[in-house]
Amino acid sequence: MRSLHFFLRLCLGCLCLGFAGQKIHAQKTTKEDASLFYDSHFHLTNYIQKGLDQQSLLAVLSNKVGRSTLFGIPLQQQWSYRVTGKRAPTYYLETDAPLYYYSFTDAAIAMFYKSLPKEQQTRFDPMITGFNPTDMYAADHIRRVLLTFPGVFSGIGEFTIHKEFVSSKVAGDVASLTDPALDSIFELTEEVGLISILHNDIDNPFPKTKDQNYLGEVKALFRRHPNATIIWAHIGLGRIIHPVQDQVTLVEEMLNDPALKHVFFDISWDEVAKYLVQSDQTVQAVAALINRYPDRFLFGTDNVAPASTSAHLKVYNQYQPLWQALTPKASEMVRKGNYQRLFDEARRKVRLWESKQGLAAMANQ
C-alpha cells in the first residue's frame, strides 16, 4: 500500500510538471500586447518597506506596462532617534544611521503576488532580495524561500555588492565580489535557473585614478559562473558613478567575450538615462552599440513605488532619443523581447526545479 501511495503521488507530480510546461508554452504563444515596455527593474517597496497596494500597482502600470519584475529593497533604513529625533528618515541619504538586511521582504513580496488576481499574476516576475551576500547561509535563505513559496519567484535581485553611499552604511561585514558567500549564491542560481540582477558600480565615487576599481572583479565573478543568467544593473553606473573613459568600448569588449555570453545589461534608472541621452553623440554611440547587440540589453525603470502612471513612465520618456535612434527590431528587443525570452526561460527552469524538490520530498517521506 505504501508503494502504491508513493506511485500515485509520483504520477501526480509528473502531471504537475507537464501542466507547468504547458502553462509556460501558452504564455510564449500569447498574441503580442500593445504595451510600451516590460519592466526589468521595479521596486514595489522602499527603504522603509512601504509601497503600493495591489489596486494602486495595477492602476500605475495600466496598459502601458505589459510585464514587470516585482521586488522590494533588501535593506531597511534604521530610524535612530539619537540621530534624527522625531524626523523619520525614508531614504538612505536622509540620515547617518545604518542600513540592515530585511529578510521579511521576500515573504511580503510573495504574499503580495499571491493576493493578485490569477489573470494578473502572469504579468509579474517576483524576485528574492532579502539575503545578506556576505553570509554563507544566504543560499540557504534563497532555497528556503523557493520551497516555502513555490510557483512565485523567477530570480534574485536587485541585490548590491558595491554601491555609492550605500555599501558603507550597511551594518555588518562589507560585501565583496571575491566573497565565497557570493559564489555560493550564484552556484544556487545556476542549479535552479534563477535570473540574477546584480548592482555593482564600475568604480568608486570620486576615484583618484583612471582605473575601473571593480571592473576586473566583476568580470571575474561573471566568468566563474558561466551557467548563471546575470543582468548587470545600470551597466555599473550611478548617481555620481559616471561613465568611465571609453565605457562603450569596455562594454563592447564584454559583449564580444564568449566567456560572458550569459551576461546582460540593464539600462534602468533616470540617473543612468541622464548619461546615455545627454547629447546627440552619446545617443548615437549607445544606439550603435545596442543595434549591434540587440539581444543583450534590457530596459527597466528602477522606480520605487511610483505614485502615478505618468511618474512611472518618466524614465521611458526620458529615453525617447534612444528609442528613436534604435532600429525597430532592437527597440522591441530592449523594451520587451529580451525580457520575455529570459524570464520565460527562468520561470520554466525554476518551476521544474521546484517540482523536482517536491517529488524528492515525497520520496523521502
119-148 residue pLDDT tens: 999 999 999 999 999 999 999 999 999 999
Residue 23 lies in a domain: no
Residue 17 lies in a domain: no
- DSSP three-state, residue 299: coil
- Hey, CA dihedral for 130, 133, 135, 136, is it positive or negative? positive
- DSSP three-state, residue 243: coil
pTM metric for this prediction: 0.90
**CA dist., res. 182 & res. 162, Å (int):** 13
Domain that holds residue 208: 37-363
Predicted local confidence at residue 16, as pLDDT: 47
Residue 29 lies in a domain: no
Predicted local confidence at residue 211, as pLDDT: 67
- The radius of gyration computed from the CA coordinates of the chain, to the nearest angstrom, equals 21
Contact 299, 37 (CB under 8 A): yes
- DSSP three-state, residue 279: coil
Confidence of residue 12 (pLDDT cuts 50, 70, 90): very low
Contact 346, 338 (CB under 8 A): no
Question: Degrees (nearest 5) of the Cα angle 275, 276, 280?
Answer: 110
Residue 72 lies in a domain: yes
Contact 207, 364 (CB under 8 A): no
Residue 241 lies in a domain: yes
- DSSP three-state, residue 248: helix
Residue 108 lies in a domain: yes
Say if strands 99-101 and 75-77 run parallel, antiparallel, or are unpaired. Answer: antiparallel
Total domains present in the chain = 1
Task: Indicate which CATH number applies to the domain containing 272.
Answer: 3.20.20.140
- For the beta carbon of residue 108, count every other beta carbon within 10 angstroms: 16
Q: What is the mean pLDDT of the chain?
A: 91
Residue 208 lies in a domain: yes
Task: Please list the alpha-helical segments (H only) found in the chain.
Answer: 2-28, 54-61, 81-84, 104-115, 118-121, 138-148, 180-192, 215-224, 247-255, 270-276, 280-292, 309-312, 314-318, 320-325, 328-332, 338-363
For residue range 211-256, list pLDDT tens digits in order: 668 999 999 999 999 999 999 999 999 998 888 778 899 999 999 9
Of residues 93, 75, 90, the one with CA closest to residue 129 = 75
Question: Degrees (nearest 5) of the Cα angle 27, 32, 36?
Answer: 115
DSSP state of 159: E
For residue range 154-210, list pLDDT tens digits in order: 999 999 999 989 999 999 999 999 999 999 999 999 999 999 999 999 988 877 666
Percentage of the chain lying above the pLDDT 70 cut: 90
Confidence of residue 27 (pLDDT cuts 50, 70, 90): very low
**CA dist., res. 273 & res. 214, Å (int):** 21
For residue range 95-118, list pLDDT tens digits in order: 999 999 999 999 999 999 999 999
Residue 3 lies in a domain: no
Helices and strands of the chain, counted as H and E runs: 16, 12
